């Protein structure tokens, strides 16, 4: 049975995060409940724009997180990362930074030095992936995932490929380790290609069109920069490429626990939020130079 479509969302008005990320906040912003795409709590989508050349590396300065994971997916340009656990990395087109903040970390994200100097097209997605209560105080970690490290499913007849970031796609496993069951894919389909796959009925599922236009389940056209949200009904999804396309697919088992989100923290109670601020102010998140 086909997974039923709930709605197609237009990109909300953009806003700046720091001076380097111009983003459309699809959720938890204007489109409904905070838990609708659980375990994915937030999605900021930086639609493609041109940044002029600059000696200044635009981005977001040092800030804390606790209780979840930040996942940055680059589609154009290059993103650099540093954190207070001593991790650092640079990702380019199609690559991923998967940072587990968990018990607490300071980090900063910004345009990579040479990209900043030259300028050019920049496009990315950042997700906040919630952690279950039992894992919120786990040790922080960092996964830098290159294109070569991704699981890859190759379509026949030059139809394109699927990069498997997390979970599994038709038997191909993703590179990221996760705390709860989820599937995260990038579909790179050539014009005219059509692919069908199944995702669990109870998983919250949606897809973002980062390039081109697609038709989903032979019924709904989804244009560039739009997000399609599925109902929790049915399992089969068909995607047809009406042009050359890049599509991010998100599907995860919901975390059915209370959520208290405040600032850079995502916890289960107000008391845990207060404790997080106390711990940051007392230096328990470590040190990172801006």
The C-alpha atoms of residue 221 and residue 149 are separated, in whole angstroms, by: 32
Give the per-residue pLDDT at 182: 98
Give the per-residue pLDDT at 33: 76
**Token match 């499913």: residue?**
153
Tens of each residue's pLDDT in the chain, 290 residues: 999 999 999 999 999 999 999 999 999 987 777 889 999 999 999 999 999 999 999 999 999 999 999 999 999 999 999 999 999 999 999 999 999 999 999 999 999 999 999 999 999 999 999 999 999 999 999 999 999 999 999 999 999 999 999 999 999 999 999 999 999 999 999 999 999 999 999 999 999 999 999 999 999 999 999 999 999 999 999 999 999 999 999 999 999 999 999 999 999 999 999 999 999 999 999 999 98
CA dihedral 9→10→11→12, nearest 10 degrees, is: -90
Evaluate whether 279 touches 140 at the Cβ level (below 8 Å): no
Model pTM score = 0.98
Q: Where are the domains of the chain?
A: 5-252
Give the per-residue pLDDT at 29: 85
Q: Please tell us whether the domain made up of 5-252 is placed in CATH 1.20.1250.20.
A: no
């Amino acid at each position: 049975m086909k997974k039923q479509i709930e709605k197609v969302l237009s990109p909300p008005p953009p806003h700046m995060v720091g001076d380097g990320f111009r983003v459309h906040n699809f959720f938890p912003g204007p489109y409904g409940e905070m838990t609708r795409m659980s375990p994915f709590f937030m999605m900021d989508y930086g639609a493609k724009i041109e940044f002029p050349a600059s000696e200044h590396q635009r981005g977001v300065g040092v800030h804390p997180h606790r209780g979840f994971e930040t996942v940055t997916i680059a589609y154009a340009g290059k993103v650099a990362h540093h954190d207070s656990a001593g991790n650092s990395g640079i990702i380019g087109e199609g690559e991923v930074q998967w940072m587990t903040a968990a018990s607490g970390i300071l980090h900063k994200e910004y345009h990579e030095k040479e990209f900043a100097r030259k300028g050019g097209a920049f496009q990315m997605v950042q997700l906040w992936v919630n952690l279950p209560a039992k894992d919120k105080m786990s040790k922080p970690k960092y996964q830098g995932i290159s294109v070569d490290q991704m699981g890859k499913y190759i379509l026949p007849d030059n139809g394109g490929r699927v990069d498997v970031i997390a979970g599994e796609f038709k038997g191909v496993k993703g590179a990221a380790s996760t705390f709860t069951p989820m599937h995260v894919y990038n579909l790179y389909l050539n014009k005219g290609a059509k692919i069908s796959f199944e995702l669990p009925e109870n998983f919250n599922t949606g897809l973002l069109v980062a390039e081109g236009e697609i038709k989903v389940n032979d019924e709904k056209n989804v244009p560039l920069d739009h997000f399609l949200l599925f109902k929790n009904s049915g399992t089969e999804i068909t995607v047809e490429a009406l042009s050359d396309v890049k599509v991010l697919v998100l599907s995860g088992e919901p975390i059915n626990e209370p959520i208290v989100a405040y600032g850079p923290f995502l916890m289960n109670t107000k008391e845990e939020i207060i404790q997080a601020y106390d711990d940051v102010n007392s230096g328990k998140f470590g040190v990172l130079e801006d």
